[in-house]
C-alpha cells in the first residue's frame, strides 16, 4: 500500500479509470500536454470553499486575505468576491489588487519599510488602513499629509507581542527580536499609541499583531490574543487584527487546525478576555496552499550506488524556494498512479546550477519512476508562484484554475522575450 495521504490533494482531486490523477475534472496529463510543465494547477472551488469557511468562522468583514501567499488578478477577484478584504504588503501588490477591481477601501497596506512612494499611493487611492510598523513610518506619513498628499489615513499599529510561535525562525515574527512592529516589552508600543493619538496626520483605529507563519498550535494564537488583550482593552480602540499564520499539512502524518478551530481558539480567547474591539484575521497559506499542485516532468534519473538516487525535474528552486529557504518537506506522486507503492527513496532536484536546488530531500517514489513521467507535488499553492524567480533565466510557470472540467489560464507562462522586457541593453 502507498503511504501517501490523498487528503493532501485539492478537494476535487479524483483518479480516472486508467489511474491518471484529475483535479476538478481535468486530467493532469491533458493539462501538461496543453500548458506544458512546470505548471501550477489550482482547484478553484477549493479556494472558494476555504474563503467561505473563513468568512463564516470570523464573520463578514472579519477576514483579510494575505495576498503575499499567492496573488494574481484572478485570485484577488476571487477572494474579494467571497467577502474578504485584501492585505497587500507592497506597492506592487496594491497595484495588482486595484487592477483586479478590488476597491482601495477593501485593501490594507502592510510592510516593515514602506517607501514614501508606497505611502503616497496608499493615501491617494484611500486604502482602508495603513498598518504602521515604525516611528520612521509615522514621520513619513506626517510629512506626506502636511504636504497635501492626502487626508490623514486610518492606521493600525503593528505590535510585537513577545510570543514565540513554534515555526521556522525565518517566518517567526512575534518574538521580541523581530524586524516587525513596535515592541511591547520595551515600551515602544505604548509610545507609538501616544504618538499616533497626538498626531493630526493619522487616525488611530486599532492594533495589529502577527506571530509567524505555518503555526500548527492553535494555543499560540490564543496566547497572542491574551497578550494583546491586556494591552488593547484599556485603550478601547475599535479594531484588533490578530494576523494570520495558520499552518497546513504538507506531508503525510502532519495535522493542522482547521480554519474553524482557529476561529474558535481566537474568538473564544478574546471573548473570555473582555475584548470588545472588532476582531479581524489575515489568513493566506490556509486559504491557498492545499488548493494547488505543481506538475513537473522527469528529465533525468541518476543512481549513485551506495549514495543516493537523484530524480531531476524541469523546475526547481525558481518555482518552489521553500525547501531551500526553510528545509520544508513535501510529498511527490506520479500523476499516472497516485496510489502506487513508493519503495524508491530519492532526492528530487531541479535544473538550476546549485547543489542546493532541492524540491524533496527524501522523496518516496514508485520503483518504476521513469524519464518523462509527470511528477506531482501537492500543497504548493502558497509561496511558490509568489516567491518564484528567473534564476538561470528560467521562465516562470503558468497558473491554471480548474473547475467543473474546464481549465483557464490566469497567469501565462513567461516567454524568452519576457526575460528581455526590462533589459535595456
Query: What are the catalytic residues?
Result: 353
The number of CA neighbours under 13 Å toward the Cβ of 221 is: 30
Q: Are 262 and 285 in contact (CB under 8 A)?
A: no
Q: Are 247 and 285 in contact (CB under 8 A)?
A: yes
Dihedral sign, Cα of residue 9, residue 212, residue 389, residue 50: positive
Question: Which cell is 246 given?
Answer: 495558520
Q: Are 89 and 68 in contact (CB under 8 A)?
A: yes
Number of Cβ within a 10 Å radius of residue 217: 15
Question: Which cell is 309 given?
Answer: 538516487
Q: Strand ranges (DSSP E) for 25-123?
A: 26-27, 39-43, 64-66, 85-88, 107-109
Three-class SS of residue 413?
coil
Cis peptide bond upstream of 38, omega within 30: yes
Pairing between strand 239-241 and 21-23?
A: unpaired
The rounded distance, in Å, linking the Cα atoms of 208 and 218 is 18
Question: Which cell is 200 given?
Answer: 493630526
Question: Which cell is 279 given?
Answer: 476582531
Smallest CA-to-CA distance from 25 within 16, 34, 17, 33 is with 16
Q: Are 284 and 89 in contact (CB under 8 A)?
A: no
Q: Are 204 and 193 in contact (CB under 8 A)?
A: yes
Question: Which cell is 228 given?
Answer: 494583546
The rounded distance, in Å, linking the Cα atoms of 144 and 151 is 9
DSSP structure class, residue 179 = S
Dihedral sign, Cα of residue 416, residue 419, residue 424, residue 425: negative
Smallest CA-to-CA distance from 409 within 395, 420, 398, 419 is with 398
Amino acid at each position: 500500500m502507498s503511504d501517501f495521504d490523498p487528503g493532501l490533494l485539492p478537494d476535487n482531486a479524483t483518479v480516472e479509470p486508467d489511474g491518471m490523477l484529475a483535479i476538478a475534472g481535468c486530467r493532469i496529463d491533458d493539462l501538461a500536454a496543453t500548458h506544458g510543465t512546470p505548471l501550477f494547477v489550482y482547484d478553484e472551488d477549493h479556494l472558494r470553499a476555504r474563503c467561505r469557511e473563513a468568512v463564516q468562522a470570523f464573520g463578514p468583514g472579519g477576514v483579510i486575505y494575505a495576498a503575499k501567499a499567492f496573488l494574481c488578478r484572478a485570485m484577488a477577484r476571487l477572494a474579494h468576491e467571497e467577502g474578504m478584504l485584501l492585505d497587500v504588503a507592497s506597492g506592487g501588490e496594491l497595484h495588482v489588487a486595484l487592477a483586479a477591481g478590488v476597491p482601495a477601501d477593501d485593501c490594507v497596506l502592510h510592510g516593515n519599510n514602506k517607501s514614501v512612494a508606497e505611502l503616497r499611493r496608499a493615501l491617494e487611492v484611500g486604502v482602508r488602513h495603513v498598518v504602521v510598523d515604525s516611528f520612521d513610518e509615522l514621520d513619513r506619513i506626517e510629512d506626506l499629509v502636511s504636504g497635501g498628499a492626502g487626508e490623514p489615513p486610518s492606521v493600525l499599529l503593528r505590535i510585537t507581542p513577545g510570543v514565540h510561535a513554534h515555526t521556522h525562525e525565518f517566518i517567526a515574527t512575534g518574538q521580541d527580536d523581530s524586524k516587525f512592529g513596535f515592541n511591547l516589552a520595551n515600551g515602544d508600543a505604548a509610545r507609538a499609541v501616544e504618538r499616533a493619538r497626538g498626531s493630526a496626520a493619522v487616525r488611530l483605529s486599532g492594533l495589529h499583531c502577527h506571530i509567524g507563519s505555518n503555526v500548527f498550535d492553535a494555543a499560540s494564537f490564543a496566547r497572542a490574543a491574551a497578550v494583546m488583550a491586556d494591552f488593547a482593552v484599556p485603550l478601547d480602540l475599535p479594531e484588533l487584527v490578530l494576523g494570520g499564520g495558520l499552518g497546513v499539512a504538507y506531508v503525510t502524518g502532519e495535522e493542522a487546525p482547521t480554519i474553524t478551530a482557529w476561529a474558535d481558539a481566537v474568538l473564544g480567547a478574546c471573548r473570555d478576555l473582555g475584548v470588545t474591539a472588532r476582531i479581524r484575521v489575515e489568513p493566506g497559506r490556509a486559504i491557498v496552499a492545499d488548493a494547488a499542485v505543481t506538475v513537473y516532468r522527469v528529465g533525468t534519473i541518476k543512481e549513485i550506488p551506495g549514495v543516493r538516487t537523484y530524480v531531476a525535474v524541469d523546475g526547481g528552486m525558481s518555482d518552489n524556494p521553500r525547501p531551500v529557504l526553510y528545509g520544508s518537506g513535501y510529498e511527490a506522486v506520479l500523476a499516472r498512479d497516485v496510489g502506487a507503492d513508493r519503495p524508491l527513496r530519492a532526492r528530487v532536484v531541479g535544473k538550476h546550477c546549485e547543489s542546493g536546488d532541492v524540491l524533496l530531500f527524501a522523496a518516496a517514489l514508485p520503483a518504476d519512476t521513469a524519464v518523462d513521467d509527470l511528477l506531482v507535488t501537492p500543497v504548493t499553492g502558497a509561496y511558490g508562484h509568489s516567491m518564484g524567480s528567473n534564476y538561470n533565466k528560467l521562465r516562470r510557470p503558468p497558473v491554471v484554475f480548474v473547475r467543473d472540467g474546464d481549465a483557464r489560464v490566469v497567469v501565462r507562462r513567461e516567454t524568452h522575450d519576457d526575460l528581455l522586457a526590462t533589459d535595456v541593453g
